């Protein structure tokens, strides 16, 4: 079972870059600067030019200049924005948050700063908070920046709109799982940029990555266009991430050698920059390339390296991408327990991120309520001292108002609790069902198999696992597009449910592979079910309007417990049966439109279960197990 490369690239969400406004270094004095001031301005210019291509060098420059307590306010804010941008690129999320808060504090403390300067400084602060996962604070700053720009007019307002559209698009893509809405925002930003002649490789990069996520066929062309622009502007970091993303698309199209060469070159550059987030995403792509090449153990090690590279960072999207690559590698190796453990880690990571976002909103709400309560109390005391005769009425009014506010707060808390309950319930339902076919997914099927009761005591009756694979499915995707392939999967799932009993376990096992588990069948009944499934699922499928094609399936099956006399140990469980069913499916796939199965007798005889699993054909020849095939 192969996990498509594009799934890994689509979830590479932190490879997309949050966009701050370009911080223009403008002086507010008309007199010639003295040599020290010229030196500071030159260092600021150099730091800003290096913050993306050589972020570690930019951090060192900024730390050196900011150590001077006599540094003027505007150069200090510019250096802080350079430091924060570089810190978020190398994965130092906590430092980026601290810098963003310091920039806001300095802006608030200096109202004499020019509005255009404030606009750029706050835009950078919002980008820092956004990259660190503080989307609520970032959205507030984006709204403030947009208001300032609207009051200024000119190109600054247009550039602000471009940046705001990009960053809102990123929030839709990364946090709200709405790539179509994100695409609308990116295209509006691109139209505005073209209107003022602005060339932005980062904008094209985000647009291209989002097209990959949506499965658009023009994604590769968009990546190449963005890569050319990054080359023209000498933006090494973006250019390298674009190459890694292009490697993912090439791997999905079967061009494994080209993909490997691209991603390995990207990794070499990212380690030299360094770019830990980009490196982790590239390692996840390399892991999938290795898995598709049959290097399963190497794929697992590479996915673990990706997770190691992200230790100590808050790069959630890259951690999700690396965990998904690890799960795919473990599944390819047949390590079911490790797959379940990694899946639980992935779920916990996603739930923690959701919890942090909600806590951020609650903290802001509590702070506002505390401020409001303090102001009301001061007002009450002032009026009480001025008008003693109205003290009783004032106290009653304040008490009633407080009760009303507490009631509203209680109602808000209850509404929030209900919203969280419904969200968690929806998440549980979504995590149990495959969204394309409506069938239980692999995780749910695993739980159902674990809960399946022991077969009846009859020696000839056991539970049977059937693996079903669509013949030549890759040709459908290659010749008609993934939309046609998705339609085939949805249509076939409906036929499969209709062909099975209500008591059977029916699930999408992965890719174009489905699983059926039937209780209490003997060998002849299992063969009859396999033939029935093969006939029921074969037929004409509409791939495009007015275009149909005859499709067939191959079926492999095996019982559990595999031997009627062994009711404990490895050979008695469903994981052993699923591996033998996979071997039987492989045999059936050689002939196509066929089925095959393996059936154990009373025990393994002189062979061990591992020996039978290693070479079931030899066990059939030796008479240890029975091999079946049809039609």
**What are 149-205's pLDDT values in tens digits?**
777 767 767 777 788 888 888 877 777 778 888 888 888 988 888 888 887 778 888
pLDDT band at 207 (very low <50, low <70, confident <90, very high): confident
Asked if residues 245 and 321 have their Cβ atoms less than 8 Å apart, the reply is: no
pLDDT at 26 over 60: no
Strand partners, 590: none
In angstroms, rounded to a whole number, what is the distance separating the alpha carbons of residues 129 and 229? 27
Domain residue spans of the chain: 20-27+36-152, 351-432, 442-630
Whether the pLDDT of residue 357 is over 60: the answer is: yes
Closest CA to 191 of 158, 142, 230: 158
Three-state SS string over 418-448 comes to HHHHHHHHHHHHHHHECCCCCCECHHHHHHH
Contacts of 322 (CB under 8 A, 6+ apart): 280, 283, 284, 303, 306, 307, 310
- Give yes or no for a contact between 433 and 441, defined as CB atoms under 8 angstroms apart: yes
- Nearest Cα neighbor of 71 from 36, 109, 30, 110 is 36
- pLDDT value for 274: 80
Residue 362 has pLDDT above 70, yes or no: no
Q: Given this model, what pLDDT does residue 369 score? A: 63
CB 339 within 8 A of CB 509: no
Residue 27: pLDDT band with limits 50, 70, 90: very low
What whole-number distance in Å separates Cα of residue 94 and Cα of residue 76?
20
Weakest mean pLDDT among 29-43, 206-220, 433-447: 29-43
Q: Does domain 442-630 have CATH number 3.30.70.270?
A: yes
- Omega cis (within 30) before 33: no
Q: What pLDDT does residue 66 have?
A: 92
For residue 468, list its beta bridge partners.
Answer: 514, 555
Cβ contact 607:507 at 8 Å: no
SS3 category, 512: coil
- State the pLDDT confidence band at 10, using cuts at 50, 70 and 90: very low
Smallest Cα–Cα separation from 437: which of 510, 499, 501, 500? 510
Q: Are strands 595-600 and 553-560 parallel, antiparallel or unpaired?
A: parallel
Residue 540 tokens read as 């004409």
Cα–Cα nearest to 510, from 250, 311, 334? 334
Q: Who's near 466: CB < 8 A, 6+ residues apart?
A: 515, 516, 517, 518, 529, 530, 533, 555, 556, 557, 581
Does 457 have pLDDT greater than 70? no
Quick: pLDDT tens for 62-102: 999 999 888 999 999 999 999 998 888 887 888 989 999 99
SS3 of residue 508 by DSSP: strand
Residue 497 has pLDDT above 90, yes or no: yes
Q: Hey, what are 272's tokens? A: 């030299």
Structure tokens at 440: 């239980």
| Side-chain-facing half-sphere of 481: CA atoms under 13 Å | 11
Q: Average of pLDDT values for 539-560? A: 92
- Please state, in angstroms and rounded to a whole number, the distance separating the CA atoms of residues 342 and 618: 35
Report the percent of the chain where pLDDT is more than 70: 86
Burial level of 360, CB count in 10 A (0-12/13-18/19+)?
Answer: middle
Total residues found in the chain within this entry: 631
Domain at 20-27+36-152, CATH homologous superfamily: Tetratricopeptide repeat domain (1.25.40.10)
What 3-state class would DSSP assign to 603? coil
Task: Answer yes or no: are the C-beta atoms of 61 and 49 closer than 8 Å.
Answer: no
Locate the DSSP E strands across 487-582.
Answer: 505-510, 513-521, 539-544, 547-551, 553-560
Between these two residues, 208 and 441, which has the higher pLDDT value?
441
pLDDT digits (tens, 9 = 90+) for 392-419: 778 787 788 788 788 788 787 787 777 7
Instruction: Give the closest residue to 245 by CA, choosing from 274, 276, 207.
Output: 207
CA dihedral 438, 470, 325, 8 (to 10 degrees): -70
List, for residues 313-355, the tens digit of each pLDDT value. 767 778 888 899 999 999 999 998 999 999 998 888 877 766 7
Contacting residues for 612 by C-beta, under 8 A, at least 6 apart = 580, 600, 604, 619, 624, 625
Please give the structure tokens belonging to residue 539. 């037929």
Bridge pairing between strands 547-551 and 539-544: antiparallel
Query: What DSSP designation does 504 have?
Result: S
C-alpha to C-alpha distances, 257 to 120, 166, 439, nearest whole angstrom:
44, 34, 35
How many Å apart are CA 267 and CA 101, to the nearest integer? 33
Q: What does pLDDT average to over the chain?
A: 83
Does 34 score more than 60 pLDDT?
A: no
- Among 377, 375, 370, 380, smallest CA distance to 409 is for 370
Q: What is the pLDDT of residues 559-614, one digit of tens each?
A: 999 888 777 777 778 999 999 999 999 999 999 999 999 998 888 777 888 888 88
Read off the pLDDT of residues 104-145 as tens digits, 9 standing for 90 and up: 999 999 999 988 888 888 888 988 888 777 888 888 888 888
Token pair listed for 474: 């890759």
Measured distance CA(324)–CA(241) in Å, rounded: 19
């Amino acid at each position: 079972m192969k996990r498509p490369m594009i799934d890994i690239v689509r979830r590479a969400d932190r490879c997309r870059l949050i966009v701050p406004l370009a911080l223009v270094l403008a002086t507010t004095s008309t007199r010639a600067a003295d040599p020290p001031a010229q030196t500071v301005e030159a260092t600021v210019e150099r730091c800003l030019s290096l913050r993306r291509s050589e972020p570690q060098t930019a951090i060192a420059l900024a730390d050196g200049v900011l150590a001077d307590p006599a540094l003027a306010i505007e150069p200090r804010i510019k250096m802080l924005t350079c430091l924060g941008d570089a810190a978020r690129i190398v994965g130092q999320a906590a430092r980026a948050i601290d810098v963003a808060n310091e920039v806001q504090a300095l802006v608030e403390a200096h109202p004499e700063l020019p509005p255009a300067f404030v606009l750029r400084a706050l835009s950078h602060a919002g980008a820092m908070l956004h990259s660190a996962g503080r989307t609520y604070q970032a959205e507030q700053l984006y709204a403030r920046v947009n208001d300032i720009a609207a009051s200024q007019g000119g190109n600054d307002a247009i550039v602000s709109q471009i940046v705001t559209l990009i960053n809102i698009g990123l929030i839709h893509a990364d946090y709200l799982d709405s790539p179509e809405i994100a695409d609308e925002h990116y295209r509006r930003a691109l139209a505005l940029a073209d209107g003022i002649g602005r060339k932005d490789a980062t904008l094209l990069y985000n647009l291209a990555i989002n097209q990959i996520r949506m499965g658009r066929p023009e994604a590769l062309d968009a990546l190449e266009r963005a890569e050319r622009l990054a080359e023209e502007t000498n933006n090494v970091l973006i250019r390298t991430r674009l190459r890694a993303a292009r490697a993912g698309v090439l791997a999905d199209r079967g061009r494994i050698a080209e993909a490997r060469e691209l991603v390995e070159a990207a990794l070499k550059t990212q380690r030299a920059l360094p770019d830990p987030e980009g490196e982790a995403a590239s390692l996840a792509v390399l892991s999938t390339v290795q898995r598709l090449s049959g290097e399963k153990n190497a794929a697992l090690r590479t996915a673990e390296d990706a997770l190691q590279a992200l230790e100590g960072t808050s790069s959630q999207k890259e951690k999700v991408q690396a965990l998904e690559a690890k799960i795919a590698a473990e599944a390819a190796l047949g390590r079911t327990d490790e797959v379940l453990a990694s899946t639980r880690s992935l779920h916990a990571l996603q739930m923690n991120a959701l919890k942090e976002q909600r806590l951020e909103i609650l903290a802001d709400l509590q702070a506002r309520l505390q401020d409001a309560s303090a102001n009301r109390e001061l007002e009450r005391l002032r009026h009480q001292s001025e008008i003693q005769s109205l003290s009783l009425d004032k106290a009653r009014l304040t008490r009633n108002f407080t009760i009303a506010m507490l009631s509203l707060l209680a109602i808000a808390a209850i509404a929030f609790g209900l919203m969280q309950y419904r969200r968690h319930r929806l998440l549980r339902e979504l995590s149990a069902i495959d969204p394309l076919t409506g069938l239980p997914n692999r995780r749910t099927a695993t739980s159902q198999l674990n809960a399946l009761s022991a077969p009846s005591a009859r020696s000839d009756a056991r539970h049977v696992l059937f693996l079903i694979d669509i013949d030549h499915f890759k040709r459908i995707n290659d010749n008609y597009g993934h939309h046609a392939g998705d339609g085939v999967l949805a249509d076939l799932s409906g036929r499969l449910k209709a062909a099975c009993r209500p008591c059977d376990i029916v699930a999408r096992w992965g890719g174009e592979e489905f699983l059926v588990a039937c209780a209490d069948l003997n060998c002849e009944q299992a063969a009859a079910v396999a033939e029935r499934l093969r006939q029921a699922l074969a037929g004409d499928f509409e791939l495009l309007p007015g275009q149909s094609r005859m499709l067939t399936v191959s079926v492999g099956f095996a019982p559990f417990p595999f031997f009627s006399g062994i009711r404990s140990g490895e050979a008695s469980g469903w994981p052993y049966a699923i591996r033998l069913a996979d071997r039987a499916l492989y045999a059936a796939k050689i002939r196509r439109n066929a089925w095959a199965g393996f059936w154990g007798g009373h025990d393994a005889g002189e062979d061990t279960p591992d020996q039978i699993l290693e070479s079931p054909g030899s066990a059939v020849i030796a008479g240890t197990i029975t091999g079946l095939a049809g039609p």
